[in-house]
């Protein structure tokens, strides 16, 4: 009796997108332009635009995306308040690391698509209203 070789499903690792925010500069300017540096963990997979506000993250259907942020200045407060993206492609959800108040956002890419831009709303310092990115990063298939 012969059996067909079983194809193992490819294990996909999450793609982590990190926004490094110059909170002092963004608060002084009232916008994010020139005060945001985006990076992801998929450079070898084809992502481009590292260190800019227009990161292009190479992602395919089924990929798990994890967004987080860091303050350039250690004393400044920064947090992602919302991620605005086509919900047909990805629906980010806010989560908190267990036992902490540290939040992150995660979502699964629902379908392969051309460049799908997204904007991030950031809470900075003690400002009540979030500041939204002016330039858009994107997920590219």
Beta-sheet strands, E only, within the chain: 15-21, 36-40, 56-58, 64-71, 78-84, 93-96, 103-108, 116-124, 131-132, 137-140
CATH of 15-140, one of 2.40.30.10, 3.30.565.10, 3.40.50.720, 2.60.40.3910: 2.60.40.3910
Q: What is the pLDDT of residue 7?
A: 47
Task: State the Cα–Cα distance between residues 139 and 28, nearest whole angstrom.
Answer: 29
pLDDT, tens digit, 9 for 90 and up, residues 4-27: 555 444 556 799 999 999 999 999
pLDDT at 131: 97
* pLDDT one-digit tens code per residue, 73-111: 989 999 999 999 999 999 999 999 999 988 999 999 999
**What is the domain partition of the chain in residue ranges?**
15-140
Report the pLDDT value the prediction gives residue 111, as an integer from 0 to 100. 93
pLDDT at 10: 54
Give the per-residue pLDDT at 8.
44
| pLDDT of 123 over the 50 cut | yes
Q: Residue 22 has what pLDDT?
A: 97
Please write the tens of the pLDDT for every residue from 25-77: 999 999 999 999 999 999 999 999 999 999 999 999 999 999 999 999 989 99
pLDDT of 122 reads 97
């Amino acid at each position: 009796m012969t059996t067909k070789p079983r194809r193992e499903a490819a294990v996909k690792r999450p793609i982590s997108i990190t926004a490094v925010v110059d909170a002092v500069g963004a608060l002084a300017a009232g916008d994010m332009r020139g005060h945001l540096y985006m990076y992801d963990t998929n450079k070898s997979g084809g992502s481009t635009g590292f260190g800019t506000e227009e990161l292009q993250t190479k992602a395919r259907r089924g990929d798990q995306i994890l967004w987080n942020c860091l303050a350039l200045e250690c004393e400044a407060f920064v947090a992602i308040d919302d991620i605005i993206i086509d919900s047909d492609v990805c629906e980010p959800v806010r989560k908190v690391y267990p036992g902490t108040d540290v939040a992150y956002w995660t979502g699964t890419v629902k379908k392969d698509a051309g460049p799908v831009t997204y904007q991030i709303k950031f809470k900075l310092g003690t400002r009540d209203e979030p500041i939204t990115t002016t330039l858009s990063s994107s997920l590219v298939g």
